[in-house]
Each structure stands twice: as C-alpha cells, then as structure tokens.
C-alpha cells in the first residue's frame, strides 16, 4: 500500500538544534574536498584542504565531506585535521568522510571524523545491475546483506550515518526501495540517491525521489539527499526537481568541479533557491521569503576564486553565477537598459554573491595589517607563518607593480601554501 508523499515538518537534528539552523532548510552537503578533488588533475594538499574547509565553514555549508580516509595516509590526515579544527569551532559544520561498504573503510573513516563535534560516516554500495554484476561481482542478495551489515557497523560507531546507493538512477526502483528500507532498519539517518553517471532527467529524478518517499519503509523522518553528475548538463535542474519532490539535502561542489563533467554546482543551486525563493518557499510549504539554505551568499565569489586557484581549474567565462562574464553586458541595447534600470537585464546583484566587494587597494606602501585584512576579505584564513612568507613576496611584487591585484595575491598564496 502506497503512502501519500506529504512533506512532514522535519524533526530537528542535534546539529540543527546546536547551531540554531532551520530544520526545514535545504542542507548543503559540500563535497568539493572529496568528489570535487576527483576531477582529473585537481588534487589538493592537506594544507589546501584545510584552508578550503575553513572557507566552506564561513560560507555556511551544513556538511563538509572532507575526503575518503582509506584512500591514502594524506587524505586520512587531512580529514582528521579538518575534524579537529573546523569541526570543533563554534557553529561547526558536520564533518563527513566517505567509505565503501567495507569494515576497514568504515573503521578508518571513523578514526578520522570522530574528533569533530558532529561527525558523519558516509558509506556506499552500488545497486544497478551493471555495477553489481561487473564491478562488485555480487548478487542483489549479497548487496542487501552488505547494506545491513555495514550500515549497522557504521551506526555502532557513529550516530550520524549516510547511506548511498551508487548508480541509483540506473537501478531497478523496486530493488532500490528494498536496499533503502534495509539501510533505514540498520540505522542510516540520511539516504542519498546518486545519479552517478549524470544519466537521469529532471522529471525522472523527481519521480524517483517521490517513489522513494512513497515506498520505503520508515522514510518519514529521514533526510533524502541528492547527488548528481553533470554529464548531460542537467545536474542542477535534476536537483531542483528532487527538492520539489521532498529531498532536503543536496550534494554539491564549488564551481561544479568533480569526476568527468563535474558535480552539481553549489553556487547555481543555492542562487536558484535564493533568486526564486518565493516560488520554492511555496513549493516546500515554507513561509514566503524564507531563506532556503544556510549559505552566506556574500562568500560565494571568494569561495569560487579560492577553489579555482587551489585546484588550478579555471572557471569558464560564461559560467553561471561566478564566471567572469556572469554580470557583464556587451550589447548596446543591454547596456542602455542597465543604465536605465539594472533589473532590465539582471536577476541578481553581483554584490549579493560578494563580487566586487573589494574596498582596499594594495601597493608598495601598504602594511601588513592591510595585507592581512585583504586576504581575510578574500576568505584566506592562514597561519602567521604563511602570512609572513606571503608578505615578503607581496613586498617584492609591489616594488615592481603599481597595484597588486587579487589575482596576484591568489598566486602568492597558492605558491606559499604549496611550499609548506
């Protein structure tokens, strides 16, 4: 018998209560440091991950997936350090690590995240016929058994456990419902529905989320999460459809970096929910003008610049929200309209995402305080040792140039942090 997928008021989690965040919001699970780092050529050092994690916390993300601890000693240490620092500050995000549905992975993950005030273990297993037969070489019955055993094991260590059915959108829905029911019975608290190969479409994905809400035993008080890749350029559209159908967590990366064509871009989904907040507030049965996420929009541009700088992956000029041309107007007709009233051709203000907030000009007469202040404005929370080295480089450059730009500062920081 099917249950009607009415959206119930979400039960606040311990993290919601401790941080005063609205339980009805769409939670932003940032995976820049895990799936984003899986972009070809985008590997990050531990120091870079820590700087980015501090910025993600400032941005207001709810969960940081800091890495895949069993993958390497370096990644284990990076996740642990982030858990011990960013995960223990005031108003901390949840710190999460990824693990396959295997005991050694889960144990290693727990050793890294357990230091955080709010740790999470994220465990996954593939559920499509293709993946089960060729990749896992497991029968559906074995996958069901592994789900029960490994989610129970994760739950015996950590009270916050996310379970993902990899390649969910190409899995048999009836089997998927069974896997998710098992995961819930074993103690999962968030169920993630990955579109691992970016194959689904908005209508299909929305229907799948609705199907899960209708058919999975015990789903009422759990968070359904969305995870999607951009192979067909549909990841953000798919997420909006998933949110309309009851999902309350989205897994995103800054600038949409990630495997192949990347993941759903954080800035795009967040600004879609912000710019169209009245529309989404009514769809989600929230008060008009509610903030739909906990994101501090003014930190979006800094975060984008920092990720691009640290990963070496430049942002295409016409990229939505954070591309160099996103707020540029070229044609005479558009320029004329903008001069008369900006709303003619702009649906959001560049300043609302922190673009063009720069108030300090740095040159050879600037002192250490102004230098630090600008770096802080740009989102760089660096140690005194890093600052001292960077300041020497800045002075050398300022002697040769009239004005030292943000781009110059980014390259100085990037060089110094890499050398540590």
The residues that touch ligand KIV, with contacts defined as CB under 6 A, are 35, 124, 164, 166, 192, 194, 196, 227, 229
Q: Which is nearer to ligand KIV, 63 or 413 (CB)?
A: 63
Q: Which does 319 bind (CB under 5 to 8 A by kind): Zn ion, ligand KIV, none?
A: none
DSSP class per residue in 164-180 = EEETGGGS-HHHHHHHH
Q: How far is CA 201 from CA 170, 243, 257, in A?
A: 12, 14, 20
Q: Which is nearer to ligand KIV, 169 or 309 (CB)?
A: 169
d(CA 319, CA 309): 16
Q: Which does 120 bind (CB under 5 to 8 A by kind): Zn ion, ligand KIV, none?
A: none
Q: Which does 124 bind (CB under 5 to 8 A by kind): ligand KIV, Zn ion, none?
A: ligand KIV
Q: How far is the CB of 88 from ligand KIV (least distance, A)?
A: 26
- Which among 236, 224, 253, 238 is positioned nearest to 65, based on CA atoms? 253
Task: Please give the span between the terminal C-alpha atoms of the chain, in angstroms, as a whole number.
Answer: 60
Q: How far is the CB of 166 from Zn ion (least distance, A)?
A: 8
- What is the contact surface with Zn ion in residues (CB under 5 A)? 35
**Residues whose CB is less than 8 angstroms from the CB of residue 384 and which lie 6 or more positions away in sequence, other chains included:** none
Q: How far is the CB of 196 from ligand KIV (least distance, A)?
A: 4
Q: How far is the CB of 412 from ligand KIV (least distance, A)?
A: 33
Q: Which is nearer to Zn ion, 35 or 167 (CB)?
A: 35
With 0-12 / 13-18 / 19 or more C-beta atoms within 10 angstroms meaning exposed / middle / buried, residue 170 is: middle
DSSP reduced 3-state for 65? strand
Task: Give all strands (DSSP E) within 70-149, no chain letters.
Answer: 94-100, 119-126
Q: Which does 166 bind (CB under 5 to 8 A by kind): Zn ion, ligand KIV, none?
A: ligand KIV
Q: Which is nearer to Zn ion, 15 or 34 (CB)?
A: 34
Q: Which is nearer to ligand KIV, 194 or 206 (CB)?
A: 194
Element (H, E) at 190: strand 190-195
d(CA 224, CA 213): 9
Q: Which is nearer to ligand KIV, 126 or 306 (CB)?
A: 126
Q: Which does 239 bind (CB under 5 to 8 A by kind): Zn ion, ligand KIV, none?
A: none
Q: How far is the CB of 126 from ligand KIV (least distance, A)?
A: 8
Q: Which does 29 bind (CB under 5 to 8 A by kind): ligand KIV, Zn ion, none?
A: none
Which residue is at the shortest CB distance from Zn ion? Answer: 35
Q: How far is the CB of 14 from ligand KIV (least distance, A)?
A: 23
Q: Which does 27 bind (CB under 5 to 8 A by kind): ligand KIV, Zn ion, none?
A: none
Q: Which is nearer to Zn ion, 61 or 398 (CB)?
A: 61
Calculate the dihedral angle through the C-alpha atoms of 148, 115, 26, 237, rounding to the nearest 10 degrees: -70
- Which among 376, 324, 385, 322 is positioned nearest to 354, based on CA atoms? 322
Q: Which is nearer to ligand KIV, 93 or 194 (CB)?
A: 194
Q: How far is the CB of 228 from ligand KIV (least distance, A)?
A: 8
Q: What is the CB neighbour count within 10 angstroms for residue 141? A: 8
Q: Which does 62 bind (CB under 5 to 8 A by kind): ligand KIV, Zn ion, none?
A: none
Calculate the dihedral angle through the C-alpha atoms of 82, 84, 90, 96, rounding to the nearest 10 degrees: 50
Helix, strand and coil content of the chain, in percent to the nearest 5, comes to 50, 10, 40
Q: How far is the CB of 354 from ligand KIV (least distance, A)?
A: 28
**164 phi and psi angles, rounded to 5 deg:** -120, 135
């Amino acid at each position: 018998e099917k249950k009607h997928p009415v959206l119930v008021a979400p039960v606040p989690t311990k993290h919601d209560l401790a941080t005063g965040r609205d339980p009805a919001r769409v939670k932003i699970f940032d995976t820049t440091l895990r799936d984003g780092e899986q972009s070809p050529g985008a590997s990050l050092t531990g120091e870079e991950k820590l700087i980015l994690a501090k910025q993600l916390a400032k941005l207001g993300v709810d969960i940081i997936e800091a890495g895949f601890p069993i993958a390497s000693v370096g990644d284990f240490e990076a996740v642990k350090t982030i858990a011990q620092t960013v995960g223990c500050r005031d108003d901390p995000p949840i710190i999460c690590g990824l693990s396959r549905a295997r005991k050694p992975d889960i144990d290693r993950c727990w050793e890294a995240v357990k230091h955080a005030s709010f740790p999470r273990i994220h465990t996954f297993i593939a559920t499509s016929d293709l993946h089960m037969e060729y990749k896992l070489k497991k029968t559906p019955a074995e996958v069901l058994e592994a789900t029960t055993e490994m989610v129970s094991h994760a739950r015996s260590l950590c009270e916050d456990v996310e379970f993902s059915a990899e390649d969910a959108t190409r899995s048999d829905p009836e089997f998927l419902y069974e896997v998710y029911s098992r995961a819930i019975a074993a103690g999962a608290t968030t169920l993630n529905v990955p579109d691992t190969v970016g194959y689904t479409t908005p209508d299909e994905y929305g229907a799948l989320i609705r199907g899960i809400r209708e058919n999975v035993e015990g789903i009422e008080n759990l968070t359904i999460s969305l995870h999607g890749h951009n192979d067909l350029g549909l990841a953000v559209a798919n997420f909006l459809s998933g949110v309309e159908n009851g999902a309350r967590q989205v897994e995103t990366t800054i600038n949409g970096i990630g495997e192949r064509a990347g993941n759903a871009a954080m800035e795009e989904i967040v600004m879609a929910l912000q710019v169209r907040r009245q529309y989404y507030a009514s769809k989600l049965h929230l008060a008009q003008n509610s903030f739909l996420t906990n994101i501090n929009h003014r930190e979006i541009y800094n975060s984008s610049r920092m990720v691009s700088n640290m990963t070496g992956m430049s942002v295409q000029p016409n990229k939505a929200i954070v591309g160099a041309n996103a707020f540029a107007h070229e044609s005479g007709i558009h320029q004329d309209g903008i001069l008369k009233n900006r709303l003619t051709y702009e649906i959001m203000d560049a300043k609302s995402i922190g673009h063009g907030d720069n108030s300090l000009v740095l040159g050879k007469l600037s002192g250490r305080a102004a230098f630090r202040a600008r770096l802080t404005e740009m989102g760089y929370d660096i140690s005194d040792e890093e600052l001292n080295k960077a300041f020497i480089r800045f002075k050398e450059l300022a002697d040769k140039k009239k004005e030292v730009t943000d781009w110059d500062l980014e390259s100085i920081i990037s060089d110094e942090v890499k050398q540590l």
